[in-house]
Structure 1
Amino acid sequence: MSTLWYGGTIYTMRREGETVEAVLVEDGVIQAVGKEDVLRREWQHKITEEISLHNRVMYPGFVDSHLHLIGHGEKLLRLDLTEAKSGEEVLRLLKEKVNEVEEGEWIIGEGWDENQWENPYILHRRQLDEVTTKHPLIIKRVCRHALIANSRALEMSGFSAEVQDPSGGVIHRDEDGTPNGFLLDQAQELVTAHIPLASEAYLQKALTVAIDDCIKHGLTGGHSEDLNYYGGFLRTYETFKRVIDGEKTKFRAHLLVHHEVVDNMMELSEEVRNENSFIELGSVKIFSDGSLGSQSALLSFPYHNDPSTNGVAIHSLEKLKSIVKKAREYGRTVAVHAIGDLAFEYVLDSIEDYPPKKGQRDRIIHAQILREELIERTKKLPVVLDIQPRFVVSDFPWVIGRVGEKNLSYCYAWKTLIKEGILCAGGSDAPIEPISPLLGIEAAVTRQSLSDGKVYMKEEQLSVFEAIQLFTIGSAYAISQEDKKGYIEKGYVADFTVLEKDLFKVKETEISGVEVIYTVIDGVIMYKQ
């Protein structure tokens, strides 16, 4: 059975402006592209289905190169605080939530961001106590590198003034040394470890909701990091296999494997690891620092707004190198979270000391704060930089206060990276940012701040073509699959994102508003408007 797609604009994305009239698909693979009349003539005895685009626009399937699928589903299911405009609004939303749950049940809010408030400040546990002392309550910051817990949650976790900061984490305290509820990075686990284990039904629901939302927004796949949470590697991996069955639900999930559970992955046979063609086990995931918003991204200089700190190293350089070395012993590549320039430097040091096998590529995720010499070193390594364009419009202008004007030259420098020949992929880091790839594409092109409407570092704006490439061939480069994903070309997977309008012809500020008409995965329409 072969399907002919025709009747619209079809961008191959192989070269800027290159289009074809029709695409012929069979068994989930593109068999031919070209002129409609030629394909009809050459394949007339095999075409069993024809689908007209009705003047819509087809692109290679958009893929999010960095997200947390179950976390995205949880955000959709839980109390969402991302739109709150003040601490007072956060507290009001929490009070409403208290009335919906039984006494003693954990309450978890997602996504508060004090930088989006008119009066930025960090809520104190006592303010959360005013909401409730009958429920353990935590609220996770938008970056997920910080949370605030009420006294009930701290007590249930065994907190006292004597509790020491864990390696790679910070416990904020009042002047008398009492924890104030604000926990950074690894310190969060002192509380989250006491949250009751989510049921399998809940995990499946969260993942199902997340994937449905991805597909609705035009995503044919995503590179997700979930496997060290929710009860461990095997339990979470089994959830993915149950939800993405390859029949009812098709979605290409490339799963990063947190270094703490890589042993569990390697215990699986090759047959088990490869039994579902829609689920791949990928690089070893490592965190080297935190986030800029929580001031835990590791910088080579003091924070401009708080010279007492330069951030948090999740691992010492020696420990980071040992984790990379272990990944190499397993024959695996690494995918390392690095936001600050010192964290990025540590990652380069580690990869230089323990390079991947010939033909493999590592990835460095975020790469927001860089220096010129770091870019020069990166050019010599087989790495992909996994960037999140939406961070530009969310983080400016407050990020300037964190790093200072004099350190901005190589911050969020997407155009510079591409000009230097560094491979880049595009993601959302959902649930940190909204899932829509169109929002990411628009952000990369406009760099227009959400908070004040200004364009920041205009010289780093990407062209529409470059921005779309981040979510097509860029995501394919990140997993070394550029020979079968990322273009509309013979032999490539039949994954397509079909939009109402042409992104190359609409106003740049209107890209995010373009509607998704079809999401096609493995040649099958998984979403239709």
Structure 2
Amino acid sequence: MGTLWHNGTFFTMRDENESVSAVYVEDGFIRGLGDQEELENRFSGLIEKRHNLQGAFVYPGFVDSHLHIIGHGEKLIRLDLSEVNSAEEMKRKLEEKYRSSNDNDWIFGEGWNENNFSDRKIFHKQELDEISLNKPMFLTRICRHAALVNSKALELARITKETDDPKGGVIVRDNNGEPTGYLLDTAADLVKDVIPNVSEEYVERALQVAVNDLFRVGLVGGHTEDLYYYGGFKKTFDQFFKVIDGREVKFRAHLLVHHEAIWEMEKEGYDKGEVTPFIELGAVKIFADGALGGRTAYLSNPYTDDPSTSGVAIHSEESMKEIVMKARKKNRPVAIHTIGDGALDMALTVLEQCPLEEGRDRLIHVQVVNESLIERMKKLPLILDLQPRFVASDFPWVMERLGEDRIKKSFAWKTLIDSGLHCAGGSDAPIEPVDPLLGIHAAVTRKRVGESHEGYGAEQKLTPFEAVQLFTSGSAYAIERERERGYIAEGFVADFTILDRNLFSIKADEILLTNLVMTVVDNTIMYMN
């Protein structure tokens, strides 16, 4: 017995102008497309349920191709600093958090961004000590490649003037060599290592809160990387089973595995592939560099606004090759975080030397490119994992970091797609807001809400159809599921994002006025307005 969804506009995403008005579903898969009368006749006697969509617009279920689901949940349950617009407001929120916390608590904050402050202030440990001298403080920057800590946290981590910078990280120091409390990339891990492990209940709560929020914005799935940060692979992986049970909660969770968590994954008897119909293990995650905001993205030439640095390479070429070769022995693809062109060059060199027998590797972010790098990418089996919302968040300050020449080939989504490269779309939540409509809007307009200019790098704007493809067929292609996900077609999963507007015909700024009607996974309504 099956379900008839009708009286809607179902965009198949096979072609920009292709749509049907009804879909018939059995056992979670689409078995027929057409109009209501046609499907009523074709499946007479089999239709058990009917959903009248009252003229709504139906898209293949939106999937975020790169986020950190548990991190997103933490942002929702911890102190969120991502919307703070001044140093004074940030200080006030931290003081309030200190007063409301228990004596033995760490004080955590998520998402501060000095580029939102008029003075671009980065707090010094002494200023944080004035707020909290006795309770350790750990404040994650928006990019998650830098953190601010107070003296108590430095003391617990035994970071002093004599402490060497760790490989792939920087302990920012004053003129006397004293740590300022600003830690870049792996230097922040020195403090993370002394933060008490969170409980399984905490991880479960963060995951549940996050998944519920993803349903709220129309996401049916996400490709996430969480399995290294919350007490290890098993402790974290077990929570996915608890939350995404496949009965009450259906969500397509594709889990990337940090390269340092692979040994525990193998110890527990798991490998790449489907574990349940809703949980699957994916590529080996590797960080090649940091982020542009903290000047830790690894560039081939120095930063324009700070010629003393070219950023931070997390791995040498040799150590990255060693990690990739270990993955290749088990025929596993890799997913490499590459923001700077120096990191991208290194990653491509390693992938060229270590070809994948079958499947596709993934390059995440790919923000700074050039023609030579594009030509090299075209010769490899790759999916590029883009975050359109970065344009709205990083401009105009990123132009100071990269300079006029490099910015022309940065955040170059249109160039990458027109070059024939396959691209997927994500948010990198909690770094950016998780709502896919914000990402689609940013891809189409390349500006912030309310700005009146033509867009940053206007020639790189995507069409609405190309932008929606990033979150549908692109995300499916990224995990080799393009034959069963990402389209509304016979034999494909019945995952739908149902909206009250046609994203392909409305004005660009109306995208953000669009409302979610339903989020449907496996023919099951997981959220309804």
Task: Specify the TM-score bucket, using the shorter chain as the normaliser.
Answer: over 0.9
SS at match of 2:121: coil
SS at match of 1:177: coil
**Is the 1:220–1:496 contact (alpha carbons within 8 Å) kept by the matching residues of 2?**
yes
Q: CA deviation at 1:83?
A: 1.0
Question: 1:395 maps to which residue?
Answer: 394
Q: CA deviation at 1:235?
A: 0.6
What code does the residue aligned with 1:428 have? Answer: S
What code does the residue aligned with 2:301 have? Answer: F
**Is the 2:161–2:177 contact (alpha carbons within 8 Å) kept by the matching residues of 1?**
yes
Question: 2:193 maps to which residue?
Answer: 193
How far does the alpha carbon of each residue in 1:172-210 deviate from its partner, in whole angstroms, 9 at most, with x for none? 001111100000000001001111111111110000000
For the pair 1:262 / 2:252, whether they are aligned, the reply is: no
**Is the 1:62–1:218 contact (alpha carbons within 8 Å) kept by the matching residues of 2?**
yes
**Is the 1:447–1:461 contact (alpha carbons within 8 Å) kept by the matching residues of 2?**
yes
Question: 2:416 maps to which residue?
Answer: 417
Q: CA deviation at 1:451?
A: 9.0
SS at match of 1:468: helix
Matches for 1:213-224 after TM superposition, within 5 Å: 213-224=213-224
Equivalent-residue separation in structure 2 for 1:452 and 1:293 (angstroms): 21
**Is the 1:394–1:451 contact (alpha carbons within 8 Å) kept by the matching residues of 2?**
no
**Is the 2:272–2:283 contact (alpha carbons within 8 Å) kept by the matching residues of 1?**
no
Q: CA deviation at 1:372?
A: 0.8
CA separation of 1:367/1:212 partners in 2, compared to 1, >3 Å: closer, same or farther? Answer: same
Question: 2:50 maps to which residue?
Answer: 50
**Is the 1:397–1:449 contact (alpha carbons within 8 Å) kept by the matching residues of 2?**
no
Give me the TM-score of the superposition, normalised by structure 2. 0.98
Question: 1:119 maps to which residue?
Answer: 119
Question: 2:430 maps to which residue?
Answer: 431
How far does the alpha carbon of each residue in 1:249-276 deviate from its partner, in whole angstroms, 9 at most, with x for none? 1000000000001122223435997442
Give me the TM-score of the superposition, normalised by structure 1. 0.98
Q: CA deviation at 1:138?
A: 1.4
What code does the residue aligned with 2:408 have? Answer: S
Q: CA deviation at 1:121?
A: 2.2
Q: More displaced, 204-213 or 83-92?
A: 83-92
SS at match of 1:485: coil
**Is the 1:394–1:450 contact (alpha carbons within 8 Å) kept by the matching residues of 2?**
no
SS at match of 1:302: coil
Matches for 1:227-376 after TM superposition, within 5 Å: 227-269=227-269, 274-358=274-358, 360-376=359-375
Q: CA deviation at 1:505?
A: 2.1
Question: 2:404 maps to which residue?
Answer: 405
Number of residue pairs matched by the alignment: 528
What code does the residue aligned with 1:76 have? Answer: L
**Is the 1:116–1:451 contact (alpha carbons within 8 Å) kept by the matching residues of 2?**
no
CA separation of 1:33/1:294 partners in 2, compared to 1, >3 Å: closer, same or farther? Answer: same
How far does the alpha carbon of each residue in 1:420-463 deviate from its partner, in whole angstroms, 9 at most, with x for none? 10000000000000000000000000001469654111100000
CA separation of 1:264/1:527 partners in 2, compared to 1, >3 Å: closer, same or farther? Answer: same
What code does the residue aligned with 1:289 have? Answer: D
Equivalent-residue separation in structure 1 for 2:268 and 2:524 (angstroms): 30
SS at match of 2:429: coil
CA separation of 1:254/1:409 partners in 2, compared to 1, >3 Å: closer, same or farther? Answer: same
Equivalent-residue separation in structure 2 for 1:165 and 1:371 (angstroms): 31
What code does the residue aligned with 1:239 have? Answer: Q
SS at match of 1:404: helix
What code does the residue aligned with 1:328 have? Answer: R
**Is the 1:95–1:131 contact (alpha carbons within 8 Å) kept by the matching residues of 2?**
yes
What code does the residue aligned with 1:231 have? Answer: G
Equivalent-residue separation in structure 2 for 1:450 and 1:165 (angstroms): 40
For the pair 1:83 / 2:79, whether they are aligned, the reply is: no
Equivalent-residue separation in structure 2 for 1:377 and 1:273 (angstroms): 28
Equivalent-residue separation in structure 1 for 2:289 and 2:373 (angstroms): 17
**Is the 2:250–2:278 contact (alpha carbons within 8 Å) kept by the matching residues of 1?**
yes
SS at match of 1:432: coil
What code does the residue aligned with 1:435 have? Answer: V
**Is the 2:423–2:470 contact (alpha carbons within 8 Å) kept by the matching residues of 1?**
yes
Q: CA deviation at 1:512?
A: 2.2
What code does the residue aligned with 1:187 have? Answer: A
Equivalent-residue separation in structure 1 for 2:53 and 2:47 (angstroms): 16
Question: 1:528 maps to which residue?
Answer: 528
For the pair 1:39 / 2:55, whether they are aligned, the reply is: no
Q: More displaced, 28-37 or 278-287?
A: 28-37
Equivalent-residue separation in structure 2 for 1:275 and 1:176 (angstroms): 53
Equivalent-residue separation in structure 2 for 1:297 and 1:458 (angstroms): 24
What code does the residue aligned with 2:410 have? Answer: C
Equivalent-residue separation in structure 2 for 1:97 and 1:25 (angstroms): 49
> Runs of 5+ in structure 2 lacking a partner?
none
Q: CA deviation at 1:504?
A: 1.4
Question: 1:155 maps to which residue?
Answer: 155
Q: CA deviation at 1:513?
A: 2.5
Identity of aligned residues (%): 53
For the pair 1:170 / 2:170, whether they are aligned, the reply is: yes
Q: More displaced, 388-397 or 269-278?
A: 269-278
Equivalent-residue separation in structure 2 for 1:111 and 1:226 (angstroms): 17
Q: CA deviation at 1:491?
A: 0.3
CA separation of 1:57/1:110 partners in 2, compared to 1, >3 Å: closer, same or farther? Answer: same
How far does the alpha carbon of each residue in 1:95-126 deviate from its partner, in whole angstroms, 9 at most, with x for none? 00111111231000000001111111211011
Q: More displaced, 46-55 or 97-106?
A: 97-106
Question: 2:183 maps to which residue?
Answer: 183
How far does the alpha carbon of each residue in 1:294-326 deviate from its partner, in whole angstroms, 9 at most, with x for none? 100000010011000000000001111111111
What code does the residue aligned with 1:413 have? Answer: A
**Is the 1:29–1:494 contact (alpha carbons within 8 Å) kept by the matching residues of 2?**
yes
> Runs of 5+ in structure 1 lacking a partner?
none
Question: 2:471 maps to which residue?
Answer: 471
Equivalent-residue separation in structure 2 for 1:453 and 1:168 (angstroms): 40
**Is the 2:22–2:34 contact (alpha carbons within 8 Å) kept by the matching residues of 1?**
yes
